Amino acid sequence: MEAKENNKHIVRLLSYIPGVVIDKVPESNTKGMRTIIGSTIAKLDIALRGFFHPHARYAHPWDIMNFMVYRPLTDNITDQKTRQLVEDIFDHVNANLMPSLTSLRHQVVHHDIHGSNALVDPENLDCLVGIIDFGDMLYAPLIMELVVASDIYLLSDDPIAQIADLVAGYDTEIELEELEVDLLYDLILVRIAMLISICAWRLATRPDEEPHVPEIKKYHQLLDKLSIMGRKHITSRFREACRFPIFSPVIGEQQAKRQTSSVFR
């Protein structure tokens, strides 16, 4: 359209979706809604099957498959315990799990379903109105949808139980492969490690700006908490949420036994 002085602008008209982002409706955090969110994400991924675009594979800053680009940023993490843990996570996944990650099912995914991009009906908390913001779509492993969506519940009192509900809901529509479930723990840790590294870098290079994530210290504590719980325990809970036996040789476990950090046990 043309504006004053013959300036031309591109205008995009979007339909309005009623509802409130779930981050603003804490009472919507129920087992039923967590399951609905998981199943809705899977339905979206089913709809996206077969879709591809040459630009769907690009250097996205939050592409977990490129997590090692953030390894140098760990120098900015001032807490030495957290820094060591973040570096251990990056190095372990890079050395031991990359072949498994590249073998996972890939397709174009939404890649940004979190608490500010999922809408709920505030009058009916069992109704997920829709998912918005498709600006971060990416050709990536299918399981990344759950890795990103897990952020909705990471800072809750029992994040693993709540993420397990999300996983179970997804599995009702798209049956997860065993390898995908067994890698979920590591991928969640990598995403948290990326967040901590990016925030530390921003704080070091832009000290006058507002913090990128104000509650970043909670993610430091969360990373420590999940590392203490360990892969075997958390993966067993994810497996139990799906169709798999609780006990299984978890991916990378044999290599992990040679690591000193409990995060790999």
pLDDT above 50 for 255: no
Which pLDDT belongs to residue 259? 42
The reported pLDDT for the residue numbered 3 is: 83
What is the mean predicted confidence (pLDDT) over 135-144?
Answer: 96
Ordered by where they begin, the domains of the chain are 19-58+66-264 (3.90.1200.10)
Decide: 195 and 70 in contact? Cβ < 8 Å. Answer: no
Q: How far apart (Å, rounded) are the C-alpha atoms in residues 32 and 34?
A: 5
H or E element at residue 39: helix 31-48
What average pLDDT score do residues 240-264 get? 60
Position 264 scores a pLDDT of: 57
pLDDT at 263 over 90: no
Query: How long, in residues, is the chain?
Result: 265
Helix, strand or coil for residue 47? Answer: helix
The whole-number pLDDT of residue 15 equals 83
Q: Could you give phi then psi for residue 152, rounded to 5 degrees?
A: -60, -35
Residue 260 pLDDT? 39
Rounded CA-CA distance 173/141 in Å is: 17
Q: How confident is the model at residue 247 (pLDDT cuts 50, 70, 90)?
A: low
Q: What is the mean pLDDT of the chain?
A: 92
Read off the DSSP letter of residue 119: E
* pLDDT class of 180 with cuts at 50, 70, 90: very high
257 band by pLDDT with thresholds 50, 70 and 90: very low
Please determine, for residue 29, whether its predicted confidence score (pLDDT) is greater than 90: yes
Q: Cα(265)–Cα(256) distance, rounded to whole angstroms?
A: 6
Q: Is the distance from CB of 7 to CB of 109 less than 8 angstroms? A: no
Taking 90 as the threshold, does the pLDDT of residue 174 lie above it?
yes
In the chain, the amino acid numbered 74 is T
Q: Which amino acid is at 170?
A: Y
Task: Evaluate if residue 256 carries a pLDDT over 90.
Answer: no
Average pLDDT over residues 212-241: 95
133-141: average pLDDT: 95
Rounded mean pLDDT of 9-23? 89
Whether residue 199 is predicted with pLDDT greater than 80 in this model: the reply is: yes
- Classify strands 138-141 and 106-109 as parallel, antiparallel or unpaired: antiparallel
pLDDT at site 254? 41
Q: Tokens 């339905």 identify what position?
A: 43
Region of 85 on the Ramachandran plot (φ > 0 left; ψ -120 to 50 alpha; else beta): alpha
Write out the two tokens for 235: 């993966």
